Amino acid sequence: MKPVWIVDDDKSIRWVIEKTLTREQVPFKSFASASEVLSQLDHGAEPPQVLVSDIRMPGESGLDLLKRFKAKFSSVPVIIMTAYSDLDSAVAAFQGGAFEYLPKPFDVDQALELIRRAIDESAHQGGAQNEVSQLPEILGQAPAMQEVFRAIGRLSQSSATVMVTGESGTGKELVARAVHRHSPRSDKPFIAINTAAIPKDLLESELFGHERGAFTGAATQRRGRFEQAEGGTLFLDEIGDMPADLQTRLLRVLSDGNFYRVGGHSPIKANVRIIAATHQNLETRVKDGLFREDLFHRLNVIRVRLPSLRERREDIPILARHFLQRSAQELGVEGKRFSDAALRFLSNLDFPGNVRQLENLCHWLTVMAPGQTVDVADLPPEMRDAPAAAGSGGDWQSGLASEVDRMLAASEGQVHEKLTDAFERILISRALAHTGGRRIEAAVALGIGRNTITRKIQELGMDGGRADDTERAGG
């Protein structure tokens, strides 16, 4: 992770923030003036993850720094601090592209929460552009993913509301970011909020902001996500879990284009593109009275469905290699590679957590796998012991190959005998079921002799159906 840069001529302020970030194990670098920062950047220093700067300092001001910094690094969030909590300073900061405005004196926990939000935003906005630019965010050769790519392309010149659906972990936010990045609003903010992760009593303020004194603890005016996303895109994740009263407020914003801060009396124009996402069946929630039908139709203008990972198994090797490479870059270690057996094995797992589960697995393997080549035996025990998924499209050989890999990795022994017995048992039992239990017909269907099928039934301890009169006479 890149460091947070702290810029303030007041040493005590720098010390407080440094101590807080040290406690949270967040890397940082401190500067006493804007000129020091600009000098570092002029000499080729890599930009920070987040810039935290005072406004009023000797020499160039924080606003001057903000303007020059944003001209070069538009995607890096900048937090502006000042002891002069006046409207002009706040407006100037936001007009200059500041991520947020932090009036002094500030609460340490409030400052930390703000910095963490900025770090999260930076991670997604491309604060680490050098690394990410070499690794595309969305990969896939499966037909279902090609449909997604085509949809993103068709949406590139539109500002229509989009609904992204798919199971948890399929990459809905990545698709939302891709839609934004290729849209006419790409030079404006992309702001994401998970409506299921924020308590109901805080969600309204998070979305719409609040005025000073609007409720207990509202010491300052705060912009909500709608204002932060001005001109850009607001991504509402897990929209299906939004409380009913907030569904009504959101519908009103989508209907008339205006909203009010909590405790506010002046309407604010909403100029954002809405992209919503859910893993739930919203049609069912509408029928059950849990989601407003009129809001559903407002959000469901264009729908993009993301396939689960088990629906795009051919993409698993591509994704696995990609995540293993990216994990090595993020951790600053030498990259590892998957053996063919490991990729074959992974391709036949169900991955209920979808792409996110595969990504987490690759991160785990980067840290825990002992060698540079990752084999089946290096996978976590719960994955090695998982049954292979039933092959789709007649690809039973891949499922069999994965089971062989699993048994060999587990050192079970007698692999050939166990699998041969299982194979023959399935062949004979299905043939007998197909012929109504008649052995001779089953033997003919399988292309083996009647004595062979009788012997195999006895050896395998099977319920062998019934012998017909001819078989009894000859047997």
Same domain flag for 298 and 373: no
Side-chain-side CA neighbours of 66 within 13 Å: the count stands at 26
CA 255 to chain CA mean position, Å: 30
DSSP 85-123: --HHHHHHHHHTT-SEEEESS--HHHHHHHHHHHHHHHH
Identify whether residues 201 and 275 lie together within a single domain: yes
Which pLDDT score, from 0 to 100, does residue 468 have? Answer: 55
CATH number at residue 282: 3.40.50.300
| Triad 15, 81, 33: Cα angle to 5° | 65
Listed residue (177, 188, 18) closest to 108, CA to CA = 18
Q: Report the CATH number at residue 352.
A: 1.10.8.60
Same domain as 445, residue 356: no
The interaxial angle of helices 316-331 and 354-368, nearest 10 deg, is 50
- Distant-in-sequence, close-in-space partners of 120: CB < 8 Å, separation ≥ 6: none
CA proximity to 224, closest of 252, 246, 191: 191
Same domain, 318 and 293: no
| The domain boundary residue, chosen from 307, 326, 351 | 307
Last residue of a domain, one of 409, 433, 452: 409
Angle subtended at Cα 412 by Cα 406 and Cα 415, rounded to the nearest 5 degrees: 80
Residue 449 belongs to some domain of the structure: yes
The structure's pTM equals 0.56
By the 10 Å C-beta count (0-12 exposed, 13-18 middle, 19+ buried), 169 is classed as buried
Query: For residue 387, is the peptide bond before it cis, meaning its omega torsion is within 30 degrees of 0?
Result: no
- Single out the residue of 138, 103, 200, 170 nearest to residue 351, CA to CA: 170
Please list, in sequence order, all residues whose beta carbon lies within 8 angstroms of the beta carbon of residue 37, skipping any fewer than 6 positions away: 5, 7, 31, 51, 53, 65, 69
Q: Are residues 261 and 374 in the same domain?
A: no
Q: How many domains does the chain have?
A: 4
Specify whether 256 is located in the same domain as 385: no
pLDDT per residue of the chain (475 residues) written in tens, 0 to 9: 789 999 999 999 999 999 999 988 889 999 999 999 998 888 777 889 999 999 888 888 888 899 889 888 888 999 988 775 444 556 666 767 888 878 777 888 888 988 988 888 777 554 333 333 333 457 787 888 888 888 888 887 788 999 999 999 999 999 999 899 888 898 899 999 999 888 888 898 899 888 887 777 777 888 889 999 999 999 999 999 999 999 999 999 999 999 888 888 888 998 999 999 999 999 999 999 999 999 999 999 999 999 999 999 999 999 999 999 999 988 888 889 999 889 999 998 999 999 999 999 999 999 999 889 999 989 998 888 766 554 444 456 666 776 777 777 666 677 788 888 888 888 888 888 778 778 888 888 888 888 888 888 888 887 755 555 444 444 4
- Tell me what pLDDT residue 129 has: 38
Check residue 90 and give its pLDDT.
61
| Contact assessment for residue 7 and residue 53, using Cβ atoms and an 8 Å cutoff | yes
Instruction: Specify whether 325 is located in the same domain as 268.
Output: no
Q: 389 in a domain, yes or no?
A: yes
**Cα 434–chain centre separation:** 47
Is-contact 249 204, C-beta < 8 A?
Answer: yes
The reply to whether 397 and 431 lie within a common domain is no
Q: Provide the 10 A C-beta neighbour count for residue 202.
A: 9
Q: What is the pLDDT of residue 132?
A: 32
Contacts for 260 with CB less than 8 Å, ≥ 6 apart = 208, 266, 267, 268
If residue 374 lies in a helix (H) or strand (E), which one and from where to where?
strand 373-374
For position 458, which CATH number holds? 1.10.10
The pLDDT value recorded for residue 368 is 94
- Residues 214 and 71 grouped into a single domain: no
Taking CA 425 as the corner, what is the angle to CA 424 and CA 431, rounded to the nearest 5 degrees? 90
Single out the residue of 157, 163, 194 nearest to residue 176, CA to CA: 163
Domain for residue 373, yes or no?
yes
Cα 74 to Cα 84: distance, rounded to the nearest angstrom = 25
The residue out of 96, 128, 160 marking a domain boundary is 128
Q: Looking at the structure, do residues 373 and 405 belong to the same domain, yes or no?
A: yes
Query: Residue 384 domain-assigned?
Result: yes
CA dist 376 and 346 (Å) reads: 9
Residue 242 lies in a domain: yes
Residues 155, 283, single domain; the answer is yes
Q: What is the pLDDT of residue 85?
A: 46
Same domain, 243 and 148: yes
CA dihedral angle for residue 270, residue 271, residue 273, residue 274, rounded to 10 degrees:
-10
Burial environment of residue 105 by CB neighbours within 10 A (0 to 12, 13 to 18, 19 or more): exposed
d(CA 190, CA 143): 28
With respect to residue 133, please indicate whether it lies within any of the assigned structural domains.
no
Residue 136 lies in a domain: no
In this structure, is residue 135 part of a structural domain?
A: no
Q: Which two tokens stand for residue 113?
A: 């929460």
pLDDT at position 393 is: 43
- Domain span at residue 453? 415-474
Tell me how far apart the alpha carbons of residues 466 and 210 are, in angstroms, rounded to a whole number: 80
Nearest to 30 by CA among 9, 44, 46: 9
CATH number at residue 60: 3.40.50.2300
